[in-house]
Every structure is written in structure tokens, then in C-alpha cells.
Structure 1
């Protein structure tokens, strides 16, 4: 009986158009896609949900918002359109829509083969990838101003990572930065792939491969993140990997997480004992919404929420445009006084 995220997403994908008609009622079908304004069911045309394709490849039900860069699956649509936070609530709503009974205890469930795009597939991809030292991943990060890489165990390099432009087209391979998405216990639930240009750093694409979607994720992302350091009483959380790594150049001892999108940032889970959360915002409407929702959740859980705001669009742009010294001074002014002494690299 389906009860985990992967199984529920698979079942929802079989009813993708019905899911969209119910939860994204302000949109409409356009060819093989459902078109709507955003994942919160705003009228518009910037978000696309795939309605047909190769369901076994976990393509059906995947969505992308061209205006914000947010992406996800049908579980994310249910969460955002219904204003839910806890995954148990999302799963319960998905089961209600699918008319499924409550899940059976784990002892009664039968093992199943791992599907492409599942957490098991993500763990296999991360396991066969390599440390980034001396690879094109390190070159890519250095070109983006990220030259200090403390605690980079969450990142690996795959020299020939598969990329399929469309279900009907053959796979290609590109070098890729592989980032492990983990839960609070450190268990890998997914991976994020940044496909890189094999010819070297191309400033027009910031070093990424010349393909339509150089960033892709697989597995279970909701509530989880790419983690740098182990969260204790203080932590910083933001969207992009490069944004978080830019801050790590200045605050190498502060635990940080990259949630990979604004929608997922708003839903990260809090570690026990966390008392202060720095929310690393991007300067766009999606970033503003994520900041507001995550800060409200943090305060509800008794956690102090402090925004960190860049001067440009994000902190990686700040790092590249103004340099480390200027970024250090900007952060010094935004951190709590006790955290300046504790975390700011001298």
C-alpha cells in the first residue's frame, strides 16, 4: 500500500490532470502540460506541469515555474496550494484525493524494487560519484568566487551523468556536481544534479552545461536539504547551493542547508535544539514568500528567525561583485552580536 513520498508521487502521476484540475483550478491544459501562474494556484502562464510522458521515468507530474525557477512534483503542488507544512498533512491530503486508506504499519509492507528517480536511485548515484577535489566541480565553484570549501562531503562529482532532454529522446551525458539531499538523521533522500560545461567555465551560462535544464533533482526533497555541517543551536538556510557556499566562505563554522528552491526552503524541517535560524533570502518574489512562510513556522516552534539579505540578487552575486571583505562586513551587520564573535571568519 503506498505510504511514502515516492509511492504517493507515483500514484498521483497516474492522475496528473485530475490533480491539476483539482488543486490548480485557475489553470488550463495546453497540449501535454497544465499551465497556471504558480504552484499556489495563481492565475497565469509561467508554471507548467507535465501531463503525459514516460511515467516510469517520473516525468509525468513534474513541474517548473519559468518565472521563479521553482520545480517539484505533485506532492509539492498539494502542499503549496493547500497551505500545508507538515509532510504527514500533505500525505494525508494526497491519500484523501486518491481515496486510499491509511498506511499499514511498516511490518506489513512488502519490499519493492526501487524506481528510477526514487531515493534508492539517488543513493546509488551519490555512491558511484567521486570527491570534488581536483575536478571540474571545484573549477566551477572557484570560478564563481567560492574558494573556501569546508565540510563539502555533501558534494560529489560524476564525470558522465545521464541527462535526457525529453522522454522520447536519447540520453546524453555531462559532467555534473552531485549534491546529497538528506533528512535530519543524515540519510540520503534525494540528490540534486548541476550539469557542467565539459569545455570549461562559460560566463554566459555561469559554467553550466549548454542544455535547457542544467539543474535537476530526484528523490524525496520535501522537508529535506543539502547540508553543510551539523545543525545545533544556530543554523542558516537558503535556496541555492552556490548561495550557501558563498556564505560558507565567510562563516565556515556555521551549519547551513540549501533547500534548492523557494518552495522547499519554506518547508525545511527543524532540528531539535535549534534556537536561531538565519534565513538566507534571494531578492525576488519567490524568495520573499519563502522568507515569510519559513519565519512564521520558526516563530511558531519557538525559534528566532533572522533574515540575511544580499545587496544584489543573491549572495553569490554579492561575493563575485564586491569580494569577501565586503561580504564579511555586510554579514557582520546582520548577524546577532554573539554570532559575530562565534562564526565570522577573521
Structure 2
């Protein structure tokens, strides 16, 4: 008769084996699922570009938007969102990093453009959405470097929307999925080099279903190995295409636990929010990050919801509202 502990061990081993067999024998082609082709020179052909939105200067809309170059040689730029009906005082500044597994999407993608409009309008904040370079053409840490450079650009910018209306003393970093990973790594750099980004004073960090990984599968990855939104072959491919050549998923860019003390720098007055849901294969990694932050005395709040899927906080207005509610409390 096996003990409860022995039964759990056996169950976990069988579950791991079954998932290994599912993934190993899966006929799913992650390249086809993502509509990408890997070229012989290591670049990607992105077969199906998601819908894009141009910026809008229509004064009848509550939020205006415009694009401004950051680094022309790298083709990086920002899309700024201004809630122009709320300009009787300076507004908080939120720097946003879009998701897409480091290999897809843009600040102009309709998915993220619409979210940023609603974010600006709901929180009465100026949003700077950063267009960073994508992998595998530009592997990590290129996206981190571009995103830190965006902070330098903001602080030096002469753009009137920023200089006249942004309260640099209330700056927040935010990212979704891979953008959450980027926001986190930008936060670590910014907290360690705080004098280099003055007058920006970063007060908080909002991580929406941040994209982290690791060689050892978590329970949620095993449970949702064939998830319809983010199955294991897709996440593995995203990491293979974005990490430095030769690195595996236990690199610190992917698995924060391998160098967990890095986050101690966020214990100096930062307020951090981590959002997740049970239906996301990455939820266990997000909970691990939450616990890591708590263990390092970071002022962090976790908000996790039943059901759902990866990307739900961007795609579902009712779940976006949960993020906006948290932010309004943070900004008040």
C-alpha cells in the first residue's frame, strides 16, 4: 500500500511521462501555428501580419495618439497616447511593452493599440507604448536594451505631450506576456541605475501574465500542454528563437529563479502587481515569480483569477477592467 506522498510522486511522474509523449508525438507544427517561416539566414518570414492601427489625431476621440522615432538606426519608435480631455493637471506616465513571445506583434498592432487607448482613458494617464526589435533577427537582450533606451529617450524628449502633460515623478512600467518579461528586466536595470533616468521616478511595475520559462515543466504547463492558445511546442519555439544562441530555458532571461536575488533592487519603494489566471499554462511560473518577489521583501500584490487563458487581460474588456482598477488604486 503506497503512502499519500508516494502516490503523489507516482502520479506526477506518470503525468510528466504522458505530457512528454503528447508533445513528442504531437503533429502540431509550431511554425505553422504562429504563421512564421524560419529562413536559412536565421530571419523570420511572418506570413500573416496581425491587423495594425494608425495613430489618430481626431479631436472627437477621448484619446489622441502619435508615433515618434526613438532610434532611427534600430528602427525603434514609440506610440504615445494622450487622454486630451484630462489636461488640467499633469498625468501619470505609463511605459508599456507589448507581448508576442519576443518574435511577433508591434506597438501598432490593433490588439495592443486598442488596449492602450482604453488604458489611457480609464486611468487618465499618458501611455508610451514601445516598439522594440524582435527576435530572432535581434535576440535578447536586444528588446531589453531598446526598452531601457526608451526610458532614456523619454527623459530627454522635447515632445510637448510629454514635457507639458506627463508627471515624471509618477512613472510606471507595464508589460503583457513577453512584454511583462521585458518590463521586469527593464525594472531591474532602472532600479539599479536610478540616477541615470532622472527626472523619471519609477513608482511601480505591472506585470500582466509575464512570460517566463524553464527546462523543468511546471504543473500548469503539464496540465495545459495542448492548450489552444499557448501550447508547449509554441512556448518552446519562442524561447528557442529569442534567447541568446546556445542558451537554454534556464537562462536568467527565461527562468528568473536561477538568479532570484536580482529582484532585491525592487525592494526600495517599488509597488508591483502580478496578474494571472488558472487557464494560462504559464500561471505557475507567474506564481513562482510572485513568491520570489515576496521572499525578497518587494511590495508585491498578486491577482489571480479562475479559468481564462493567456492574453485574456488584453483581449477581454472585463478582465482589462481588473488591471485598470488596480492601477487607479495605485495611482491615487
| TM bucket normalised to smaller | 0.3 to 0.5
Relative to total residues, which structure has the larger helix share, 1 or 2? 2
Q: TM-score, normalised to structure 2's length?
A: 0.33
Q: TM-score, normalised to structure 1's length?
A: 0.32
